[in-house]
Structure 1
């Protein structure tokens, strides 16, 4: 057998990660362990590993390795507006799992705002981005950065991380599928108000309870889920790119799912309108309708199957679905059979019942290896 491009140790680490990702462990613990193991084979000086909402790609939790890197507002706007180099949305649409900044810019890293404004002043150079995909969805992302006195990431390293990312995607999906119903009743709706710089200005009592539930140990900063929803809301209000929902769903440590969504507040002229915009971020239990896209993705449905499944659950007939999606009734029936097989049901009524039960009932059963070949 030919020696792997990165050596025998790299192969052993990859196999160990693959085994780890089959164990359906807590997503946070899985990310932390994979981040450390990858670093043994593909060294990096600063890393940001995130779990994500598979529909909006907004990060739900962050695991930092090495020095914390805070992106500049301009780069965050580029990222969320889809105008940055190697933007996560672009990578997701292309289906790529890993790419380096040096390779994408032909070595001219200053083409990326984040390199000019953030990385270069911190003594960082190349960046390797990864998307932890499984099936047709992305369940996690990562940014691995090297110091400017280190070599750029090689093509072999990028390919290696892409392989790891696919295993991680499967592991994250499997772990999220085991999210139990809440041990105690979830709180009601809570609201946070953030100023233009993203700092907390005011909050309701329910919102404070949600923050404690997200992170029992009070951190110095707001959770990344709250911060990025607010930044996305501001980016949507500013325009400059195709908007995406300022919304995410995240699994809670004690069970259950939380919906986080943001909207920019508009000041009236009577109260000093025209000043810097504030953002309201609402935290509340995710409803069945909120969770439906996530539940469908957990079952490994393709983007088209997710579209069709939502219409099935909404009660639309075959003819109406065909006209709505611009496909034949025969194709609708074929997709329906595939959906039933993936969710392990035999009828539309059973499909609706199963998806409804998974919001508040037993965890989803994700077969080992599902989606790795896709």
Structure 2
């Protein structure tokens, strides 16, 4: 961390001490601004499996009404520095001006989102931990301001992993707010071919009301749409038009700590054209939660399989028989699982996983 100490070291330390993820984003943005000036910013949690925007989201000097233009540029157009590509690249950070050789008009995001807002450059960074994306950050400078430099890019790239680890830890812990009464069934939202909301059920409104407070996209209806809904719908449209491949699926956590899964898909008209997009919000199945937990603790597929059997009370000998491996190999896997999840017994492991899967099992 010598590239940004001591200010960067203080930023990371405070990130770990934050009360929740929203406070982490607030504190990190304030301290990063002292190191690296910017005029606007967006901090987002990410689904570590699909790299889609999740919750919460913090915006600074950018209104929610512009969210749709941003994600349509990101997911429906051939754009520069896409988050999914940065999540897999050698460096998790990139600036628009440098990447386009000072020709930002090559970017759909610049043309449809930044230029109308008077923004001249964007510095993106994916907060990565365990080779997974846990946060997506955009820093903006206005037109006429000095563009982000290579040194700026290297600074935020150096912060990516330590901040990613802190975000991952906060996503695992959830919030301490009391849980509200849950809706009786899945929430359903319908969007037209242009991504505009056309209908929803009461359950959708109730589920969305339980999400962390964050900027929403204004629309004529009585329901406010957060960024992760807009992003999932845009991803579904990208898949339907063969611009991308799936899934249009994102896991989010309510203020009470309940994991939800949001999945979107486009329907076809009778003529085979892309029609409405349906988005469903419902409690996450254990399989969905397991994929998040596996990413959070860097469990291999075999380790996750053994963890599931342990949480069901299956003894070592029976695990070995079911998986056609030796009991000694099972014990080696269990030791690795304990090390990665920071527990020292089967009981503690079961408690850790059951706390994340506190709701009745849905498969």
1:245 paired residue among 238, 247, 253: 247
RMSD over aligned CA atoms reads 3.5
In structure 2, distance between residues paired with 1:314 and 1:344: 17
Partner of 2:301: 307
Change (3 A) 1:180 1:44: closer
Give the deviation of 1:114 after TM superposition: 1.9
Give the deviation of 1:239 after TM superposition: 0.3
Q: Note the 1:164-175 alignment, pairs <5 A.
A: 164-175=159-170
In structure 2, distance between residues paired with 1:92 and 1:48: 17
Q: For 1:171, what is the secondary structure of its paired residue? A: helix
Q: Are 2:18 and 1:20 equivalent residues in the alignment?
A: no
In structure 2, distance between residues paired with 1:307 and 1:203: 37
Structure 1 residues not aligned, in runs of 5+: 324-329, 363-374
After superposition, give the CA deviation of every residue in 1:149-183 in whole Å (9 maximum; x if it has no partner). 11111122112222333332122112122126973
Give the deviation of 1:284 after TM superposition: 0.7
Partner of 2:315: none
Q: For 1:146, what is the secondary structure of its paired residue? A: strand
Q: For the Cα contact (< 8 Å) 2:268–2:275, is it kept in 1?
A: yes
Structure 2 residues not aligned, in runs of 5+: 219-223, 310-317
2:288 paired residue among 284, 290, 313: 290
Q: Note the 1:198-347 alignment, pairs <5 A.
A: 198-214=195-211, 219=216, 220=218, 221-241=224-244, 243-267=245-269, 269=270, 273=271, 277-299=275-297, 301=298, 305-313=299-307, 337-344=335-342
Q: Are 2:96 and 1:94 equivalent residues in the alignment?
A: no
Give the deviation of 1:139 after TM superposition: 1.0
Partner of 1:367: none
In structure 2, distance between residues paired with 1:339 and 1:345: 8
After superposition, give the CA deviation of every residue in 1:262-313 in whole Å (9 maximum; x if it has no partner). 111233x3xxx566621111111112111111112222x1xxx433334435
Q: Are 2:27 and 1:33 equivalent residues in the alignment?
A: yes
After superposition, give the CA deviation of every residue in 1:58-77 in whole Å (9 maximum; x if it has no partner). 1113211123383676x745
Give the deviation of 1:236 after TM superposition: 0.7
Partner of 2:157: 162
In structure 2, distance between residues paired with 1:179 and 1:113: 35
Q: Note the 1:19-98 alignment, pairs <5 A.
A: 19-61=13-55, 62-68=57-63, 70=66, 76=71, 79-80=74-75, 83-98=78-93
TM-score (normalised: structure 2): 0.80
Bigger RCO of structures 1 and 2 (CA < 8 A, at least 6 apart):
1
